[in-house]
Each structure stands twice: as C-alpha cells, then as structure tokens.
Amino acid sequence: MKENVILSFEDLDIRFSLRGQVLNAIRGVSLDVYRGESLAIVGESGSGKSVFTKSAIGLLDANGTIAGGHIWYNDKDLVTFRTEKEWLTIRGKEIAMVMQDPMTSLNPLIPVGDQILEAVVLHQGLRGAAAKRAAVEALRAVGIQEPERRYKQYPHEFSGGMRQRVVIAIAIACRPKILICDEPTTALDVTIQAQILDLIKELQQKLELTTIYITHDLGVVANVADRIAVMYAGDFVEVGRCEEVFYDPRHPYTWALLSSLPQLGVKGENLYSIRGTPPNLFYAVKGDAFAPRNPWALKIDYLKRPPYFQVSETHKARTWLLDPRAPKVDPPEHIRQLREKGGGRYA
C-alpha cells in the first residue's frame, strides 16, 4: 500500500441476493483514499455509493456479500473479516459514520449525552466522571451551547440541525481516522446544511480526519471535497480532483450530471435531465453501463467495458471517448462554459 493511502479498495465486487436473483451492486471497483483528504462520492440514488462505503465498516445488509476484491486498511484486508469481534476493531475506532437522517439516527429514549458516552467509553477508554467530561467536550466541540445542560436532554428536545451535530459529536467521540458522511445534509434545510458542512470541515482539519462524503448534491461537493469520484451503476466512471471534475469533466455521465445542476441552468429554460434509466444490475452489464443513455456512445461502448484513461496524474475517466482512436466530440454547451470558467487551466 502506498505511503499516503489510508484506505484502499481493490477490484471490489459486492452482490446482493434479492428474491432469488443476484444483484451486482458494485462491479469490480478500485479506489484509493488518501490520508487527510476529503473525498466525495457522487452518483444518483441506487448507484451503489452507500453500499460501497458501508462495506468498509462491515455494515452491508444481511443479504449482501463481498464476492471479490480487497479492502485494505493498515495492511489488513477487511474483506477477510468474518466475526463481529474483528469488525469491532474498525467500527467507530478507525472509521466512524454520520448518517443521513438525524431525526431517526439517535435513540429517542436515551439522553444524548449518554449516547455520546457510549462512544467515549468504547473508544477513548475513559470511565466515570472523566468519560462524562469527554462527552460534554464532544458536545461543545460541535458547537452546542450549554453542553452540560444539553447533555441530559433527549433527542426530541433538539432541532434537526442540532441532532446532526450530536451525531457528529458521537462520531468524533470515537476518535476515528476516517469519517464517512452519508448524505449528511440531505435531511436538513438549506441554511443548516452550510453550517453542518462547515462544522465537518472544521473538525476534519482540527482532528486530521480523512472524510468521505456520499452525496448526490454536487453543490455540497463543491464546498467540501478535495477529490470527487463519480459513481454510476456500481462503478466509478470518473475520479479526479474537485476542480478537474468540475471544470474539465470527461465522462459523458459526468457531463450529464453537471448539466442537470440547477445552478448551471438558464432561467426560463427547462432543467436538463438525463434520459432513460440506469441499467438493471440483476443482469450483467456489457460495455459501458452508461452507453444506452449516452448520446455520444460509440459502437465499442456497447461491447467492451472501457478502461480508465488518465487525463492527468490525478484525473481519470472510464470512457472510450478518451481513447486516441475515438472521434473528437464536443461536450454539451454547459460543460464548455464550465471549461471557460476554469480558464482552460484544467483542459
């Protein structure tokens, strides 16, 4: 494993058995997560981004199995983990998680302080008054006023944004190295979203965390991510630094995704939408999974899965359009504008 890589997915293949059929949710995916970076995994609902990250803490649903590949963390292959005991050395301790809906992710019948305390006792090795102090500190660290008083309150006495802060307090009380934020702001209203993202960013720097965001909101990504990995139908179609993906996207799916951003739309015009539906992963995907919805699809896109083509040292995309033999295509209008915005620096 490379020095600066903290978590490495290698040819990961995840399958679910559903109603007697096998669904290939993650199709041979590799990704390196660098120490201290902030990585965003974007993709539409059902693309597999949650499943992909959940596999790293052993929280796949019972009908899901890792059918192949490796997940390397500290020279340990997490894929070989079978027992709960093994996973307990990772969950919380090394990789913690903030979930989507703060309204339901806290136990309604336990004071929030005690729910943080649970993590403190497990991962900081503190007991009694010292543990309690640490839990109060965690509340303070996520910007909750009067933490001593709030400690004893129940989740229903907190607003949505405040509850998400508590969830984050729980996550950081675990003292993890990696923080997975699974749509951390989706359930919150817009004004609160920015606060929560700022909080996570601040904590990331202070605690030297590696953060992985899962989101379908590119606006969130632009604010927080160093790198972006675009997922489509259980595979990363494009991975690159934030500016590279935003200002010089190469995969037609990324083009489509960016074009459908409301921020890029023109007032009065219909918002761009991607035609068709994602492929049915109950059947084996042939070629590029996006080909049937891709107006620029080449013949080979239907036949052979494209490899990654390096665009730069940090930027790669899985599309035959990058093959030297491919015809030159012009990306859609919106994307050309983005390139100009980026000053052509990334093109």
Partner 1 sequence: MAKYILKRVLRAFITLFFIITILFILLQHMPIEGYFENFDKVSPAEIQVKLTSLGLTDPLPKQLARFYKDLFHGDLGTSNIYRMGVDNLTIIAEKVPVSMRIGLISLALSLLMGFALGIWMAYSTRTTFKIGERLGTLLIVIVQAIPSAVYYILIQFMGSQYLKMPMLFKEDNPISYILPIFSLSIGSAAYYAMWLRRYMVDEANRDYVKLARAKGVADSTISRRHVFRNAVIPMVQYIPGSILGTLVGSLYVESLYSIPGMGGLLVTAIKRHDNTLIRALVVIFAVISILGLLFGDILMAIVDPRISLVKKEGSR
- Under 8 Å CB-to-CB from 250, ≥6 apart: which residues? 238, 309, 311, 315, 317, 319, 321, 322
Integer Cα distance of 229 and 245 in angstroms: 9
Residue whose tokens read 């339901």: 104
Full 3-state SS string of 10-62: EEEEEEEEECCEEEEEEEEEEEEEECCCEEEEECCCCCCHHHHHHHHHCCCCC
In this chain, which of 23, 40, 79, 106 binds partner 1, going by CB under 8 A? 106
In this chain, which of 104, 159, 205, 314 binds partner 1, going by CB under 8 A? 104
Q: Closer to partner 1 at the Cβ: 121 or 231?
A: 121
Contact between 56 and 180 under an 8 Å Cβ cutoff? The reply is yes
Q: How far is the CB of 132 from partner 1 (least distance, A)?
A: 17
- Under 8 Å CB-to-CB from 125, ≥6 apart: which residues? none
Contact between 189 and 66 under an 8 Å Cβ cutoff? The reply is no
Q: How far is the CB of 154 from partner 1 (least distance, A)?
A: 4
CA distances from 49 to 18, 74, 75, 281, 306 (A): 18, 22, 24, 14, 20
Integer Cα distance of 144 and 112 in angstroms: 12
In this chain, which of 35, 70, 76, 123 binds partner 1, going by CB under 8 A? 123
Contact between 316 and 245 under an 8 Å Cβ cutoff? The reply is no
Number of residues near partner 1 (by CB under 8 A): 31
Full 3-state SS string of 43-110: CCCCCCHHHHHHHHHCCCCCCEEEEEEEEEECCEEHHHCCCHHHHHCCECCCEEEECCCCCCCCCCCC
Q: Closer to partner 1 at the Cβ: 119 or 230?
A: 119
Q: For the chain, where are the alpha helices, taking DSSP H only?
A: 49-54, 84-88, 112-123, 128-141, 147-151, 160-173, 190-207, 218-224, 242-247, 252-259, 333-341
Site membership for partner 1, residue 57 (CB under 8 A)? yes
Structure token pair of residue 160: 């949505």
Q: Closer to partner 1 at the Cβ: 187 or 245?
A: 187
Site membership for partner 1, residue 154 (CB under 8 A)? yes
Q: How far is the CB of 155 from partner 1 (least distance, A)?
A: 9
Site membership for partner 1, residue 97 (CB under 8 A)? yes
In this chain, which of 88, 130, 207, 329 binds partner 1, going by CB under 8 A? 88
Q: Closer to partner 1 at the Cβ: 4 or 89?
A: 89
In this chain, which of 48, 64, 69, 92 binds partner 1, going by CB under 8 A? 92
In this chain, which of 4, 107, 205, 314 binds partner 1, going by CB under 8 A? 107
In this chain, which of 26, 42, 51, 96 binds partner 1, going by CB under 8 A? 96
> x/- binding map, residues 220-239, to partner 1, per CB under 8 A?
--------------------
Q: How far is the CB of 116 from partner 1 (least distance, A)?
A: 9
Site membership for partner 1, residue 105 (CB under 8 A)? yes
In this chain, which of 156, 206, 299, 304 binds partner 1, going by CB under 8 A? 156
Residues 160-199 that bind partner 1 (CB under 8 A): 167, 170-171, 174
Contact between 224 and 197 under an 8 Å Cβ cutoff? The reply is yes
Site membership for partner 1, residue 63 (CB under 8 A)? no
Site membership for partner 1, residue 60 (CB under 8 A)? no
In this chain, which of 118, 183, 244, 248 binds partner 1, going by CB under 8 A? 118
| Positions in the binding site for partner 1 (CB under 8 A) | 57, 59, 62, 84, 88, 90-93, 96-97, 99, 101, 104-111, 118-119, 122-123, 154, 156, 167, 170-171, 174
